[in-house]
Amino acid sequence: MNDLMRAALSKRIAASALRISLAVGTVLNLANQSEALFGTTEFSWLHGFLNYLVPYCVASYSAAKNEVTSRADARP
C-alpha cells in the first residue's frame, strides 16, 4: 500500500491525473449540472467538486497500480 501511495503522489502521475480530471470533470459538470450552469437552478458546489475529484482518484489509482504491478513483475 505504501508503494501505491508513493506512486500515486509522484509528480508524473499526479500531473497526468490532474489533466484527466480537468477534462473529464468539465464534461461531467456540463452534463450533470447544465441547468445550473445556464441559470435555471442553483449550482451544487459539492457535486461540482466531486465531478473533478472522482476522475482524479480513478486516474491516479489506476496509473499507480499499473506502475507498482510493472515494478513487481520486473523483479527477479
Residue 1 has pLDDT above 90, yes or no: no
Which pLDDT score, from 0 to 100, does residue 39 have?
Answer: 83
Alpha-carbon distance of 4 to 67, in angstroms, equals 8
Domain of residue 22: give its range: 2-71
Asked if the structure places residue 66 within a domain, the reply is: yes
Question: Is residue 76 in some structural domain?
Answer: no
Residue 60's nearest CA partner among 4, 2, 8 is 8
- The pLDDT value recorded for residue 46 is 96
Note the pLDDT of residue 75. Answer: 75
The sign of the torsion formed by the CA atoms of 32, 38, 40, 46 equals: positive
Structural domains of the chain, count = 1
Does residue 48 lie within any of the structural domains? yes
CA angle 3, 60, 46 (to 5 degrees): 125
Provide, rounded to the nearest whole percent, the portion of the chain with pLDDT above 70.
99
Nearest to 51 by CA among 75, 23, 11: 23
Tens digit of each residue's pLDDT (9 = 90 or more) over 35-72:
998 888 999 999 999 999 999 999 999 999 999 999 88
CB contact at 8 A, 55 and 28? yes
